[in-house]
Amino acid sequence: MRRSHSTTLPDPAKPGELHALNTLRSLLPYLWQWRARIALALSCLIAAKVANVWVPLIFKHIVDALAITPAQAFIVVPAALLLAYGVLRFSTSMFTELREILFARVTQECVRRIALGVFEHLHALSLRFHLERQTGGLSRDIERGTRSVNSLINFAIYSILPTLVEISLVMGVLLVKYEPVYALITAATLTAYILFTIKVTNWRTALRREANELDSAANARAIDALINYETVKYFNNEAWEAQRYDEKLRAWSKAQVRNQISLSLLNMGQAAIIASGVTAMMWQAAAGVAAGKMSLGDIVLVNAFLIQLYAPLNFLGVLYREIRQSLTDIERMFGLMRTEREVADAPNASELAAGPMSLSFDAVGFAYDPRRPVLTDVSLTVPPGHTLAVVGHSGGGKSTLARLVFRFYDVSSGAIRINGTDIRQISQNSLRRAIGIVPQDTVLFNDSIYYNILYGRPDASHEEVIAAAQAAQLHDFISRLPDGYETKVGERGLKLSGGEKQRVAIARTLLKNPSILVFDEATSALDSRTEQAIQGQLEAAARGRTALIIAHRLSTVMNADEIVVLEQGRVIERGSHAALLSADGAYAAMWRLQLQEREED
């Protein structure tokens, strides 16, 4: 029904939607504020690489000196050379650890800011998005994305450049000290290795993306089944849910196997290229020693360089794979952050001033789907301090009025005004601060009863929380619980009955103390005795405030200043309780039907 605006995330597999370059560009604002620390850390890492290249050069001279005779070794080998070797070895580790110390805060702060940005953006998205989302898949995408940010920042900023620097230094030394064939072999090995790695990794990226999609789908299915635990039990469908979950797990398992096979093929190909390069280099070095053109220290130097190059080359393959995989994981998270808000503040949105407020619906029309209008030309006015009740059969559009007042959606036509100002010209923050709602379907946090009441106004005192609970006829019930106000309510409040949850919702709304009150079937889950007890409190809370009551039970709206009957999104009757009964129309028929149902009960 509500599919007029698609809120599905962009498919990373489609070209032109969210490329790796855009993802890296999205990270830059988070890194820019740490540019000085990043530059210093980068300097430390480059220094470590330079020291690492000098180690084989010093080691060559030591080996050549030791090759004279063991008896002369201590005299020939200068102590400074041995000391330089030790200092360079230590410098490599020291500069690497300094880089870690400097960069640790950068990484964690970036991850924190990105995770916070995603969290805030999710709360800024429209109700339509949250009605259509899959919580399990969404949470898995965010988890993988934030985890991959750490890897991507480290690999992209502090591994590529130092690796290239080390390779460049090694090739420079080979060109200066030895025949060009050594540098040529090194360059050919590097080129073959990089091209092979990129080609195979690009192929593997599609396999990784498929595995991630199936992982998210399986997680979404599992979370959905667990959230609806009671429904699963009611219909004895545990085996059915397990079968549906296993379908996704089987597909994910096959994708993971394909992913692992492709990884093994990549590793074997890389090893073959490296082995070929090493063999060619050592063949040339051995020939040089045999011909008397190279010393024993030279062959040790070439071998040491090969070992040093092997590690960066091997890491370059891992690096490219990890960057591609991290980008794949982050793509969906940044795609989520780029999801546009359906309801946004106007550029010059004003703040809603405190005080008495009037509420009016001016020829309001609305449709979740353009093919099915929900409200048509609805005009209502609630003066400051008055109460307007909206009644009618289910599906008539009553609860939609409450959602429109909160700007969960914007009207399709007409306008909703507070104190004569279109609410689209008022900031959403100040608008929602001025409105309190008791919804028909109350959802609580998996925390204590006290926390859920305090949520109405987090800075309220303990005494105010207790007073709100007493006003909602909840205090006596809480006092009988073993843990009192610290009783945990469970996931979505499932440990409480429907009536208890609704009283908690009433208490936190009373604690909020808003200028406009909206009661959307606020007593629908209560028994008649509790309803009568709370009804007086609701009427007292509404006194002096602007109140909109959406109700099915007509007995709860008898004292409203005006009652409006909605049918199929249109106002068909309006007036006081007595006037509507005298008119003997739709309201009177509903009244007689409910009296009959009460007598039968």
Per-domain boundaries in the chain? 20-337
Does 342 have pLDDT greater than 80?
Answer: no
Mean pLDDT, to the nearest integer, of 498-503? Answer: 80
The encoded tokens of residue 301 equal 């130097």
**Choice among 50-64, 76-90, 155-169, 389-403 with the minimum mean pLDDT:** 76-90
Instruction: Work out the percent of the chain whose per-residue pLDDT is above 90.
Output: 12
Mean pLDDT, to the nearest integer, of 529-556? Answer: 77
What residues form DSSP beta bridges with 551?
Answer: 391
Average pLDDT of the residues of the chain: 79
The 546-551 sheet, strands edge to edge: 435-438, 516-520, 546-551, 387-391, 562-567, 570-575
Distance (Å, whole) CA 135 – CA 129:
11
**Is the pLDDT higher at 465 or at 97?**
465
Please report which helix (H) or strand (E) contains residue 363, including its range.
strand 359-366
- Name the pLDDT band for 135 (thresholds 50, 70, 90): low
- Name the pLDDT band for 134 (thresholds 50, 70, 90): low
Residues in the chain: 601
CA distances from 99 to 93, 308, 375 (A): 10, 20, 62
pLDDT in tens, 149-183: 877 777 766 677 777 777 777 778 778 877 888 88
Q: Dihedrals φ, ψ of 13, to 5°?
A: -75, -20
The encoded tokens of residue 561 equal 């200043």
pTM of structure: 0.60
- Write the single-letter amino acid at 80: A
Does 5 have pLDDT greater than 60?
Answer: no
Does 365 have pLDDT greater than 90?
Answer: yes
Q: Look at residue 92 and give its three-state secondary structure.
A: helix
Please report which helix (H) or strand (E) contains residue 567, including its range.
strand 562-567
Does 6 have pLDDT greater than 50?
Answer: no
CATH of domain 20-337: 1.20.1560.10
Does 377 have pLDDT greater than 50?
Answer: yes
**Is the pLDDT higher at 15 or at 114?**
114
Mean pLDDT, to the nearest integer, of 16-20? Answer: 46
Does 466 have pLDDT greater than 90?
Answer: yes
**Choice among 10-24, 185-199, 375-389, 457-471 with the minimum mean pLDDT:** 10-24
How high is the pLDDT of residue 51?
A: 77
How high is the pLDDT of residue 10?
A: 38
pLDDT in tens, 579-594: 999 998 988 998 888 8
- Name the pLDDT band for 317 (thresholds 50, 70, 90): low
- Name the pLDDT band for 601 (thresholds 50, 70, 90): low
- Name the pLDDT band for 60 (thresholds 50, 70, 90): low
- Name the pLDDT band for 362 (thresholds 50, 70, 90): very high
pLDDT in tens, 218-269: 888 888 888 888 788 877 888 888 998 898 889 889 888 888 888 888 888 8
Mean pLDDT, to the nearest integer, of 515-537? Answer: 73
- Name the pLDDT band for 9 (thresholds 50, 70, 90): very low
**Choice among 58-72, 191-205, 488-502, 527-541 with the minimum mean pLDDT:** 58-72
Q: Look at residue 426 and give its three-state secondary structure.
A: strand
Distance (Å, whole) CA 231 – CA 136:
18
Does 12 have pLDDT greater than 50?
Answer: no
How high is the pLDDT of residue 2?
A: 37
